[in-house]
Chain A
């Protein structure tokens, strides 16, 4: 099977009907797991991410502990059945790198200095994937950390931008990612416009890069509002325990 050229933009619309600056549909559910200290289920289009947070808790082995701060461990894991080709279970080079970049995305907001010698563990399972998994995972993890009551400076919001058929567009799906020319996942603290994750591969001119950053910034603000709304909805109704909150942008339903 060779890679064939396919047209990704027709009549100013993308194959799934979205405009260039349009996010896929987002769904958020908070505290979906019983045993985790905090958890979040996050859908971004066909991506399904489930984040679980434990901690602060004792760190093993002890030589890994930091005298001054908590140690954040982030693990990104794709389920074997989550992609078209079965993913061999267990860590691979890609997931190790994504885990590191994602930890660096969340590190700046976690008040680690409150809990020296402990660890805060974030485990994100990708149950279904359609490009943009690391961004969905970070969005889920950020909410799960808040749900676990971990003191944070703010939430982190994440989205990817890319280039398809020569156009810079927001939030690539898998077809666009596979046939596109560039992909750039971004994570940021929306309120302060601080970028905490930035990766890029493919080809971008400096100008395209700047356009992409602007698109990502705008989308991160939208996602931030959804994350915030979901948390507020969940915890302002805490008397009514076990209510699952669905936040639906109502997009992508053509």
Chain B
């Protein structure tokens, strides 16, 4: 009860400030908080990145293991994305099996990566129908001050951009023509906006996220094409608002790509 009241007061505060054209932390409506990307900080992982957006921190690790391909794609590697919202990252997170929020987070990140076709899954085939590389992208939320999605998506593509395939560990011998690094063909970036009382805000912090009726994540690629969109939240959006959000999303993705990827 007490917490609910405090949350209501904060939401009112977000609303009131927005009425005078201000965000709770003084940012412009289309500004990100400070972003940092630190690569290869876990030496047991084939790739990793710690992404911070303001006080939000997400660690993404990528592991590669040989496995059996899916029957309908015998000549393709497998991409799996999972997210853990650990209790240390927020008093609202609980231990337990993945819930709808962590599943949604993982699937948004997964779609951005998968649909951009940044990874050539056909190159990850070791022996057709028998053995392929499985890429596991694991998202570990460390601190949630809002917008885990963008931090996770950026962490995922940053982790993937410098991966050495662990052939020796699994006793696989490379032919001379083969490369042992994973090449990426694109750099999908997710940009999340929320709608609060008619205002469109990029990179919502936790208070803004809680105050918002709607959230929209736009994943876009280096050439400006879209590879994923997801609306969430219990409100509705006008078509014009969505067009604007998509446009801002593509623009902001370009800025992030240039700086960090």
Contact = CB atoms under 8 A, between A and B. Distances in A.
A128 interface: no
Interface in B187-242: 213, 216, 221, 224-239, 242
Contact of B239 (A67, A94, A217): A217
B246 A206 contact: yes
Contact of A200 (B72, B100, B228, B236): B228
Nearest to A213: B239
B99 to A, nearest CB: 8
B98 to A, nearest CB: 7
Interface string A192-218: 111111111111111001100100010
B226 A200 contact: yes
A189 B224 CA distance: 29
- Size class of the contact patch on chain A: 35 or more
Nearest to B221: A203
Contacts of A202: 115, 227
Nearest to B242: A195
Chain A, interface SS category: mixed
Contacts of B115: 201-203
A3 B72 contact: yes
Interface string A82-101: 00000000000110110111
A199 B101 CA distance: 16
Nearest to A99: B100
A1 B100 CA distance: 33
Given A203-B225, A217-B239, A93 B98 contact: yes
Interface stretch (B47-55, B84-92, B103-111, B149-157): B103-111
Contacts, number: 110
Interface residues of B, number: 43
A80 interface: no
Contact of B230 (A108, A196, A199, A209): A199
Contact of B226 (A101, A193, A196, A203): A203
Interface in B21-54: none
B95 interface: no
Contacts of B216: 198
A104 B231 contact: yes
Interface string A1-34: 1110000000000000000000000000000000
Contacts of B246: 206, 209
Contacts of A200: 226, 228-230
A184 interface: yes
A197 B231 CA distance: 6
A167 interface: no
A86 B111 CA distance: 23
A196 B243 CA distance: 14
A194 B232 CA distance: 14
A93 B235 contact: no
Given A93-B103, A199-B229, A200-B230, 18 more contacts: A1-B72, A1-B74, A2-B73, A67-B4, A97-B100, A97-B107, A107-B235, A108-B234, A108-B236, A188-B236, A194-B237, A195-B231, A196-B235, A196-B236, A198-B242, A200-B228, A205-B225, A209-B226
Interface of B: 1, 4, 71-75, 98-101, 103-104, 106-107, 111, 114-116, 213, 216, 221, 224-239, 242-243, 246-247, 250
